[in-house]
Structure 1
Amino acid sequence: MTDPLKDPRFFADPYPTYAKLRGAAPVRKVPTGSGGHYSYLVTGHTEARQAFTDPRLSKNTTRFFADKPSRRDLHPALSQNMLATDPPQHARLRTLVTKAFTTGAVARMRPYIAGLVGELLDAWPEHGPVDLVASLAVPLPVTVISEMLGVPEADRPLVRTWSGELFAAGDPGRIDAASHALAGYLTDLVASRRRSPGESLLDDLIAVRDAEDRLTEDELVSLGVLLLVAGHETTTHFIGNAALALLQHPESLARLGAEPGLLGSALDELLRFDSPVGIATFRYSTEALTLGGTEIPAGVPVLIAPGAANRDPARFAAPDHLDLDRDATGHLAFGHGIHRCVGAPLARAEGELALGALLSRFPDVRLAVPAEELEWRHTRLMRGLVSLPLLV
């Protein structure tokens, strides 16, 4: 069997592949890469929830790859970040950043986010065409997380470029180079903030490192890199995917335009329908286990696919249908368990304010090109558009 996730059609529309795999078994062995390597792919919703919380599935990539030869040169700040740790180390690191992303903290940021959305939309042409990705979905979350971390405005385009390079599917060299560029930048930024302290989240983490000694220097840089990347990549794709879903479902688009108060509850269905995370970050089995009726040996990669789980008909009726009245709160777009996305409240706020303003200010918005001509990013981890040309 060839790698089902390498089919060129997968990136444009992964859902037929997910459905085929899930129909055969909700957990199944699939070839990945070359040289006879394989993983176990989890596509069922029940099984994905179980996998997200099973302590036998470790995220400690350092331990997994310790005795394996590799030609890769990924910077440790990327390969050994908070997402690649298990308890108790994970809990210690997560606690240091959680307070910045609580519902209350995000609520206080909403006026700033709304103002930024307004500024971005003010720059749109009266009648288009305009690329929603480049002119809204990218700059909004990049600016917000950069402000939170104290990244100077002049450096933000570079940060965005390096972040995008991290998801260059099939090009390990570009990915590795980008990891070193980002880590080097964060190292320099930490040094700069030490010389001239401010009130950013990065300053708070530096204080924890320097005064309370609850972080190593490597962990400090790693947290900074993770927050920069994770703080905008998924939100960028969430906004783009959600906008496209609505444009392809005119009745839903019109309804949200007429009932703007519905948008908050509709976010879960939009996240479920086209999750910005297709396949979650790396896990491996520390011991043999059985999941979804499939026996998984010890020491093998296990890939959980939220994008597939969110379209599981055993959990969501008519899953390929966008239904704004659906209770989609069980979706796994932000993961589940201890590794659930810490920035989920911020992503929801940015998505809600961006989509709400778009529908309010441009009620006649429509695609500028046929949907089949849209280009999707070639990465299994993220599900997102390269661009989304609109006529407004």
Structure 2
Amino acid sequence: MHDKNADSPVPALFSWEFAADPYPAYAWLREHAPVRRTELPSGIEAWLVTRYADARQALADGRLSKNPVHHADDAQGKSKTGIPGERSAGLMTHLLNIDPPDHTRLRRLVSKAFTPRRIAEFAPRVQELTDDLIDAFAARGSADLIHEFAFPLPIYAICDLLGVPREDQDGLRDWAGMMIRHGGGPRGGVARAVKKIRGYLAELIHRKRRGDGDDLISDLIRASDHGEHLTEEEVVAMCFVLLFAGFETTINLIGNGAHALLRHPEQRAALQSSLADDEYGLLEAGVEELLRFDGPVEMATWRYATQALEIGGVAIAEGDPVLVVLAAADRDPERFADPDALDLSRSDNQHLGYGHGIHYCIGAPLARLEGRTALATLLRRLPDLRLAAEPEELRWRGGLIMRGLRTLPVEFTPRQK
């Protein structure tokens, strides 16, 4: 066993205080119990992997399955792992839940629609959405950057990309809001939102099958490889996970990123200065550092041991769930110099914020585009942006996988469009 100091008190995990700042607890785990079996708030026991080298190995280990059928507690199909409600809604056949060869086939087909060119061509629309949202509060001199900016931007962006009609987007925004509000609480609220979103997407996909639209859903319907297409269930599940993963991770990237910049004025000033000179190298490096420093995904999605194995010298039994703690790995001093410092110019920043291996986030280029656009535009248009609350007054959403603020109140000099 790797535990160096079994008598040292284990820090409290998953409390509200932990949610506000989990990094000291993760530092303890990295030092004393880098692979530790832990009871989660749901009552499930899972292994937490906190060191960078172990995390990187686990993320690419084919013996760790993404499919919950390999969970030892899944015999009756009642596992509490994964996205609440996805099983009952028939949304299991997406990239977060399957392994090769099905994962290989599905990712190859999805990649035909979710291309770098499509993301690049989408940049002007992301800028337009960003400016419209800032226009709505710029003259007021105050805002909640989560509810008025970080939340609606990725929702409207992914809706546009998928091809959701404008008149339907506010409805999807409301259902997405239900998922956010209940993310750390009762699973029933999330499950109801999942069911509504699934029903809407199935009906929309049915309509798009009759047309020749130029949007991501239409491309997913048309995507084929050697005559093989995505099934109806796969298209619905894929659209759902793009929506679900695509909005919450980006909300947190923008929210956590803005929060970090507001708490580190020297770093923020350097970024503003570079943007004023129309230099974007620090912006690109800076977004990568924000992903490392306080990223949107605290733990990688669930994995299950398909056979007995070892991680970091610790024996993992077949059927055990494993959670790779990205937030801990990305502050490992064995991998990153001065890991608790925010350094927007950090080089060699191979963080794990979007995963590693075959399950590396397919939507990462879109999230990066939205994060860069949102933060750069905020700093340009509202240069004296400042927190309107004491840092200790801010509340973080409870939950396991994602890390994000409930609210981020700010003030600034009122500005016209």
TM-score normalised by the shorter chain: which range applies? over 0.9
Q: CA RMSD in A?
A: 2.2
Farther-moved stretch of structure 1 (104-113 vs 2-11) = 2-11
The reply on whether 1:13 has 2:21 as its aligned counterpart is yes
Render the CA deviation track for 1:189-228: whole Å, top value 9, x for unaligned: 112223454221111222348x955222211110111111
Q: Displacement, 1:156?
A: 2.2
The correspondence for 2:404, drawn from 381, 384, 388, is: 384
1:357 aligns with 2:368: no
Q: Counterpart of 1:234?
A: 249
Distance 1:29 1:3 in 2: 14
Matches within 5 A, 1:221-370: 221-260=236-275, 261=279, 262-327=282-347, 329-370=349-390
SS at match of 1:369: coil
CA contact (8 A) 1:102 1:345 kept: no
CA distance in 1, matches of 2:191, 2:69: 16
Cα deviation for residue 11 of structure 1 reads 1.5
TM-score (norm 1): 0.93
Q: 1:34 to 1:181 in 2, by over 3 A?
A: closer
User: Per the alignment, in what secondary structure is the counterpart of residue 302 of structure 1?
Assistant: strand
What amino acid sits opposite 2:261 in the alignment?
L
How far does residue 80 in structure 1 lie from its aligned partner after superposition? 3.8
Gaps of 5+ in 2: 1-8, 413-417
1:55 aligns with 2:62: yes
Q: CA deviation at 1:46?
A: 0.6
Please, what TM-score do these two structures have when normalized by structure 2?
A: 0.88
Q: Hey, which of these two has a bigger chunk of helix by percent?
A: 1
For the Cα contact (< 8 Å) 2:162–2:215, is it kept in 1?
yes
Q: Secondary structure at the match of 1:178?
A: helix
Worse-matched range after superposition: 248-257 or 76-85 = 76-85
Task: Give the structure 2 partner of residue 201 of structure 1.
Answer: 216
Structure-2 residue corresponding to 1:183? 198
Q: Does 1:140 align with 2:153?
A: yes
CA distance in structure 1 between the aligned counterparts of 2:19 and 2:301, rounded to whole angstroms: 17
Q: How far is the alpha carbon of 1:79 from its aligned partner?
A: 3.7
**CA offset digits 1:253-307 (Å, max 9, x no partner):** 1111111222112111111000100011110101111111211111100001111
1:222 partner amino acid = A
CA deviation profile, 1:133-175 (whole Å, cap 9, x unmatched): 1222122211111011111223223323333444522412222
Percent identity (aligned): 46
Cα distance in 1 for partners of 2:285, 2:10 equals 40
Q: Give the aligned partner of residue 31 of structure 1.
A: 39
In the TM superposition, 1:18-167 aligns within 5 A as 18-33=26-41, 37-64=44-71, 66-68=74-76, 70=78, 74-76=85-87, 77-166=90-179
Relative to structure 1, the CA distance from residue 280 to residue 207 in structure 2 (aligned partners, 3 Å threshold; closer, same or farther) is same
Q: 2:100, 2:130 → 1: CA distance?
A: 38
Q: Which amino acid aligns with 1:288?
A: A
Judged with a 3 Å threshold, the aligned counterparts in structure 2 of structure 1 residues 283 and 166 are, in CA distance, closer, same or farther, namely farther
Q: Closer, same or farther in 2 for the Cα pair 1:328/1:365, shift >3 Å?
A: farther
**Distance (whole Å) between structure 1 residues aligned to residue 336 and residue 75 of structure 2:** 42
Contact 2:296 2:403 in 1 (8 A): yes
**Contact in 2 for aligned 1:5/1:380 (Cα 8 Å):** no
Hey, what's the Cα distance between the residues in 2 that align with 1:214 and 1:5?
Answer: 44
1:134 partner SS: helix
Amino acid at match of 2:34: P
